[in-house]
Chain A
Amino acid sequence: MRLDERPRQNTDTAARRIGGLFYVVDPSTSELHSFNEVGSFIWELLDGTKTVSGIVDAVVSSYEVDRPRAERGVAVFLDQLQAKNLVEV
């Protein structure tokens, strides 16, 4: 996913936060996905208004991670979400 793209949660998914972490069901597959803390943090930002670059900025400012590493991590995570049809661009 490119840094200028603005991913948003797939509106067909159902998501729920339990104990600070998000759980997302993809109705097309009936699969339940659970995210760790950083994944949950990113999931909340996927509203279609923030660019990938902006999401990386938010991760860098909230967690102790340098920007190149955050960029890689966010990109991998978003690609996984896209492959699972949990986000749209």
Chain B
Amino acid sequence: MRIAYGSLVIEMNGLEALGGEFSRTLYSFATKRAKHVSVVAQYRGHQDCFDRQRPLSVEVDGASSTVRVDSPYWDAEFDLGTGRVCVRFGRLWAPAVDQFLKTVAQLYASRTCGAVLLHSAAIVIEGQAVLFTAPSGKGKSTLAKISAGAGYRILTEEMAFVGGLGLDEVPRVLSLPVRERNSLQVRERIDLPLGAIYSLQWSGDDRVAELPKSRQLPIVLGAICVGLRHPYVVRPVLALAAALVEKVPVRVLYFRQMPTFLKLVCSQLGLPAAVQETI
């Protein structure tokens, strides 16, 4: 799999997928398959088998300086002059690859697309995308399954690509831009206005809590899958998160894992009663 965004190239296991923009395949790999495949990194014409203790290098679009970004799982040096990223993973390589790919993806989404990747489930309600964010294992997939069972379209259970965050733009949930080389499959194009973001909390009842902006921003930042430990990463992400909070309501949804929450969400979106009655 060979994935490209701009001049970013990550080569994995001999499979090829070349995207003009960041890739659904990347996330699929990062989140589902990282434990089962090895990574081959391409670096200045050399190939180097990725091993637990060996660095993965990727090439990125150039800029003007070198920055170093680290996390509990990996540290990376972004040489923005030559467009090279060197990454060294620790022993927990599978989550490290996952987190690294997400961070790089976020970096590219924010710096080149003016978009953010939100760790969230996304469902479609009357032509609007609604995002539900929660830590892993805290209800996103359950909510997606319940919504699908109630006849709602699921855009993602894991990661939503949110653009339209410019001054005069309307936030939209978009397809993770991907194009696979040698594939005839046409992916469904997603481009829906973003109606609301809910932070999920398991509860004995269904209710929604409104939040002040000061509490909305941490929710959005928490859902953005990126290590926030370098200004180069933080600045665009914070700017986009702030734009998102300004434009889209962020609320807490107390959720008892029943379809009844959908009625509440419809009501919040101001949908007509007829729609709510169909739930």
Task: State yes or no: do A and B come from one complex.
Answer: yes
Task: Report which A residues bind B (CB closer than 8 A).
Answer: 11-19, 21, 23, 25, 27-28, 30, 32, 34
Query: Cα distance A21–B246 when bound, in Å?
Result: 12
Q: Could you tell me if A25 and B213 are in contact, using CB atoms closer than 8 angstroms? A: no
Chain B hits for A12, CB < 8 A: 231
Given contacts A14-B238, A18-B245, contact A32 B217 (CB under 8 A): yes
Q: Could you tell me if B228 and A21 are in contact, using CB atoms closer than 8 angstroms? A: no
Q: Could you tell me if A13 and B231 are in contact, using CB atoms closer than 8 angstroms? A: yes
Interface residues of B toward A: which range?
A: 10 to 19
Task: Report which B residues bind A (CB closer than 8 A).
Answer: 213-214, 217-218, 221, 227-231, 233-235, 238-239, 241-242, 245-246
Top 4 A-B residue pairs of the complex, sorted by shortest distance between their CB atoms: A16-B242, A30-B228, A14-B234, A14-B235
Q: Could you tell me if A25 and B228 are in contact, using CB atoms closer than 8 angstroms? A: yes
Query: Cα distance A14–B227 when bound, in Å?
Result: 14
Q: Could you tell me if B238 and A16 are in contact, using CB atoms closer than 8 angstroms? A: yes
Q: Could you tell me if A27 and B234 are in contact, using CB atoms closer than 8 angstroms? A: yes
Question: In this complex, which of A15, A19, A28, A32 has the most chain B Cβ atoms within 10 angstroms of its Cβ?
Answer: A32
Query: Cα distance A86–B246 when bound, in Å?
Result: 24
Closest B residue, CB atoms, query A36: B214
Q: What's the minimum C-beta distance from A75 to chain B, rounded to whole angstroms?
A: 24
Chain B hits for A21, CB < 8 A: 213-214
Q: What's the minimum C-beta distance from B239 to chain A, rounded to whole angstroms?
A: 6
Query: Cα distance A32–B236 when bound, in Å?
Result: 15
Chain A hits for B228, CB < 8 A: 25, 27, 30
Q: 5 pairs across A/B with beta carbons < 8 Å?
A: A16-B241, A16-B242, A23-B242, A25-B221, A25-B228
